[in-house]
Copies of this chain bind each other. A is one copy, B any other.
């Protein structure tokens, strides 16, 4: 018997209902039917993201959506401040450089979140900075920053705030309008419980002023002005991966039926249980400011991370992600996003315990599932 359980921080588990919806008779995207799907999904994405801002649907990964946002928000004369504490933060700095956008790339230690005061200092020191891009939940280090506090600072300074919410939107509390986040970026294969292939960008009225006047932008396929023009008629400028949008309608309905506050609570509970289990079995949490959407656990000394993950995959169908770059081989990352609940998570923790035990790691067998069970019981 083989069951696949994706605990990777993207793609995450996808409900069968969404997969089956996408297998239904195949229709055309330039139809009244599909316009209704787009209209419906757009309104529901606003609810999921807690924003009144326009939300655009792009065909591509989260990186495509981020490229569109960065290039659009940085007309000639702009300067970006990126905050980089992991693979994804670094990517946004690279995009700026690739497109010749002046950028200050502020590095923070992996596994730590930026002190919002540091952003304030940068803005004070360098008034040329026009926009700030941060990663709300840095997937590579499983670390979340204080986006609300950062929003206060960028707003007070009159700067645009772009947030990579790829592993936060739909998983962590997110209130862009209240917090002053101008751009929210995410992808389909994380908390939205879909296969990869769609990117999403919400844009504040203030950000639109910059993007609209940015006639020189080197973007065509990911051009947000084009996307906006089409979206006004519930359409897309280029052929969309509309099968995925069809699936999205199903998963958005599921998220909203649960209620976003409840989704956030569920996700936070899974994360708290996982961290407690980790502590109980000698797999401490890597991040100093852990995100609740994904947990990075330190792999105990003497245990090969590669073998550990392979055994989990081969014996239990459980897929965890490893670490990248400077933490390769040192951590495993487990997602709390997607179609996943406490039953799945307890099962994964038990499998982790059994595997560690087989690999000779010394700990109290059963302590992990006991600790997680306690967390779930207390939170229920």
By a beta-carbon cutoff of 8 Å, the part of chain A in contact with chain B is 3-4, 6, 8, 10-11, 13-14, 19-20, 22-31, 59-64, 67, 94-95, 98-100, 187, 189, 195-197, 218-223, 238-244, 319
Contacts and interface: CB of A to CB of B under 8 A. Distances in A.
- 5 nearest interchain CB pairs? A197-B241, A23-B23, A195-B243, A61-B238, A218-B218
23 contacts: A3-B25, A4-B26, A4-B27, A6-B28, A11-B28, A11-B239, A14-B26, A19-B23, A59-B59, A59-B64, A59-B197, A60-B60, A61-B238, A61-B239, A63-B220, A63-B239, A98-B219, A98-B220, A195-B241, A196-B239, A196-B243, A197-B244, A221-B221
Q: Counting chain B CB atoms within 10 Å of each CB, which of A25, A189, A196, A319 scores highest? A: A196
A334 B247 CA distance: 28
Most central of A187, A221, A319 by chain B CB within 10 Å: A221
Contacts of A98: 218-220, 223
A258 B203 CA distance: 48
Given A189-B239, A195-B243, A220-B95, A28 B13 contact: no
A221 B60 contact: yes
B4 A29 contact: no
Contact of A28 (B19, B30, B219, B319): B319
Contacts of A4: 25-27
A101 B100 CA distance: 16
A220 to B, nearest CB: 5
Nearest to A317: B25
Contacts of A223: 98
Given A220-B99, A240-B196, A23 B26 contact: no
Contact of A241 (B23, B24, B241): B241
Given A10-B239, A239-B189, A240-B196, A94 B220 contact: yes
A232 to B, nearest CB: 19
Contacts of A24: 19
A11 B23 contact: no
Contacts of A30: 8
Nearest to A21: B23
A63 B238 CA distance: 7
B100 A218 contact: yes
Nearest to A16: B23
Nearest to A2: B25
Contacts of A99: 218, 220
Contact of A8 (B3, B28, B67, B220): B28
B11 A19 contact: no
A197 B61 CA distance: 11
